[in-house]
Amino acid sequence: MEYRSIADVMNKDMIGAHVCIRGWIYRRSVVGGKAFIRVRDSSGVIQVVVDSGRLGEELVNELKNIGLEASVMACGTVREEPRAPGGYELEAESFKITGYSRDFPIKGGEGLEYLLDNRHLWIRSPRFAKILKVKHTVLEAGREYFTSNGWWEVNPPILTASACEGGATLFPVDYFGQKAYLSQSAQLYLEALIYVLEKVWSLTPSFRAERSRTRRHLAEYWHLEPEAAWYTMEDMMRVAEELVSHIVRRVLEERRGDLIDLGRNIERLKPAAEPPYPRIRYDEAVEILQKKGVNIKWGDDLGADEERILTMEFEKPFFVTHFPRQIKSFYMKVDPSNPNVVLGFDLLAPEGYGEIIGGGEREDNYDVLYQKIVEQGLNPDDYKWYLDLRRYGSVPHSGFGLGVERATMWIAGLDHIRDTLPFPRFRGRIYP
């Protein structure tokens, strides 16, 4: 017996065909001698009509009180029915309950904390299926871009002995009696690998002990990070806009229906599919914000509120470049033409979503890098191997990190980043 996906069944070519499906009960009702069972699988939802005249009153009576999320298998004839969800239904000729579900704990109207406690069940919602499919395409398109452009995928470690983005957000780990940390970024190890493969990238989990509980912060997220020898900041910005525009095009091509079902305004997303993206310097960003009445001065970092205001000025993602050196990490290369700023950039998504990429050119001079490590209160001994990269054939190089969940949140038009992961990790949330 061949089972078809529900999405395959729901089209005009299948009308009158005999098919079998299997899935879980999403909704159900009984009217007269008929049970109307909405069955979902990973591809969609279809209404299955179980008639007592054909399959018996005992089955229809059982379905009257069947629990939501019971697993079932059904075979029958596909009919066009405008009143049914999606416009099609299956007139059952056989219907079997394979796994009962008693008192499914999510019935509608529950609070957020309750739903998060029951995340393992909440993610069965068709909405989450659509979000996770969009994210799948984001990842697939990212891998496709790098592979087709001559980049090499590598596997940096997750356990590290030193910080990449500062000690305040490190997760410490006992590593056989030694102090270690969960990786904040693969960047430092990717820099080592450019001397082997020149253009490398990785997809790894990154961990930040963020105290903030905002709509865009996670303690664990997926990080898409390229690093390349001989690349300037401008070179890497071009990679960033090519990558993001490619991802957006692929999602629009393959997940348009899912985006629409999620309520995404497709027209507002379309401009992001066409590079190049606008560029402004940090100085210009501060001027824009000051003119809008924001209390900010040169040297202040751009937070979520400031980024949101800036994004309202643009219809597509845009770069902010040349940040003050004191607000960026020790590895950022100082601009030779202005020692007060670094050759760094952020890519901000429009519509209030803010930063999805941070990157720039890396400091390639041993003495300068050593001094910056000391200036930021770090122990040079922890970075001996990293400093070695500047002692033996150092080259100009650049890279960036794309937050996969932030990018997915923006592309799918979601209100909160927690919906981009099946089991989000943020302050106060480790279960389930």
Instruction: Report pLDDT digits (tens) over 294-322.
Output: 999 999 999 999 999 999 999 999 999 99
Task: List the CATH number of the domain containing 385.
Answer: 3.30.930.10
Which pLDDT band holds residue 363 (cuts at 50, 70, 90)? very high
The secondary structure element, H or E, covering residue 8 is: helix 6-9
pLDDT band at 104; cut points 50, 70, 90: very high
Residue 35, helix vs strand vs coil = strand
The predicted model gives 89-111 an average pLDDT of 97
Residue 297 shares a structural domain with residue 395:
yes
Number of residues in the chain: 432
- The mean pLDDT value for 74-87 works out to 96
pLDDT score of 138 more than 90: yes
Instruction: Kindly give the pairing relationship between strand 159-160 and strand 178-182.
Output: antiparallel
Residues 164 and 34 in one domain: no
Looking at the structure, tell me whether residues 277 and 146 fall in a common domain. Answer: yes
Q: Are residues 267 and 410 in the same domain?
A: yes
Residue 138 belongs to some domain of the structure: yes
Query: Within 27-106, where are the H helices?
Result: 52-55, 57-64
Helices (H) then strands (E): counts for the chain: 15, 18
Residue 394 lies in a domain: yes
Model pLDDT, residue 275? 98
Residues 93 and 131 grouped into a single domain? no
Closest CA to 368 of 332, 400, 338: 332
The rounded mean pLDDT for the chain is 96
Pair 409, 374 in one domain: yes
Q: What is the mean pLDDT of residues 36-59?
A: 98
Q: pLDDT class for 109, splitting at 50, 70, 90?
A: very high
**294 occurs within a structural domain:** yes
- Rounded CA gap, 378 and 372, in Å? 9
Which of 81, 85, 105 minimizes the C-alpha distance to 15? 81
Is residue 401 over pLDDT 80? yes
Is the pLDDT at 135 greater than 80, yes or no? yes
Residue type at 340 in one-letter notation: N
Claim to verify: residue 31 and residue 168 sit in the same structural domain: no
Give the span between the Cα atoms of 219 and 221, in whole angstroms.
7
Q: What is the mean pLDDT of residues 262-285?
A: 98
Tell me if 431 is assigned to some domain. no
Mean pLDDT on 127-156: 98
Query: Same domain for 145 and 232?
Result: yes
* Residue 377 scores a pLDDT above 80: yes
- Reported as type and span, the H/E element at residue 148 is helix 126-148
The whole-number pLDDT of residue 164 equals 81
- The Cα 46–Cα 307 span in angstroms is 42
Q: What is the structure's pLDDT at 1?
A: 79
How does residue 211 score in pLDDT terms, banded at 50, 70 and 90?
A: confident
CA distances from 406 to 6, 90, 403 (A): 30, 39, 5
pLDDT at 210: 83
Confirm if 317 and 247 have CB atoms less than 8 A apart: no
**Pairing label, strands 71-80, 318-321:** unpaired
Tell whether 223 and 321 lie within a shared domain: yes
- Look at residue 105 and tell me whether its pLDDT is greater than 90: yes
Write down the pLDDT at residue 410.
Answer: 98
Domain carrying residue 141: 119-420
Of the listed ranges 181-195, 255-269, 287-301, 371-385, the least confidently predicted one is 371-385
272 and 208 within one domain = yes
Confidence at 168, pLDDT banded by 50, 70, 90: confident
Q: Quick one: average pLDDT of 163-187?
A: 91
**352 within some domain:** yes
Asked whether the predicted pLDDT for residue 153 surpasses 80, the reply is yes
pTM: 0.96
Q: Domain tally for the chain?
A: 2
- Across the beta sheet with 159-160, the strand order is 159-160, 178-182, 172-175
Distance, in Å, from the CA atom of 75 to the CA atom of 1, rounded to the nearest integer, reads: 10
**Could you tell me the CATH number of the domain that includes residue 20?**
2.40.50.140
> For residue 228, is it within any domain?
yes
Is the pLDDT at 425 greater than 90, yes or no?
yes
Q: Does the structure show a pLDDT above 80 at 360? A: yes
Report residue 12 as tokens: 């005009």
Q: Look at residues 47, 68, 99 and tell me which one is the last residue of a structural domain.
A: 99
Q: Which two tokens stand for residue 283?
A: 């100085």
End-of-domain residue from the set 68, 99, 130: 99
Answer whether residue 50 is part of any domain: yes
Q: Assess if residue 425 is contained within a domain.
A: no
By percentage, how much of the chain surpasses pLDDT 70?
Answer: 100
Average pLDDT over residues 271-290: 98
| Among candidate residues 49, 69, 99, the one where a domain is terminated | 99
pLDDT of 123 above 80? yes
Q: Which of 209 and 212 is assigned the larger pLDDT?
A: 209
Phi and psi, residue 69, nearest 5°: 75, 10
Closest-CA residue to 123 (of 106, 138, 100): 106
On whether both 85 and 126 belong to a single domain, the answer is: no
**What is the per-residue pLDDT for 163?**
78
Are 204 and 257 in a shared domain? yes
Alpha-carbon distance 32 to 330, whole Å? 72
Residue 166 pLDDT more than 80? Answer: no
Q: What is the mean predicted confidence (pLDDT) over 57-78?
A: 97
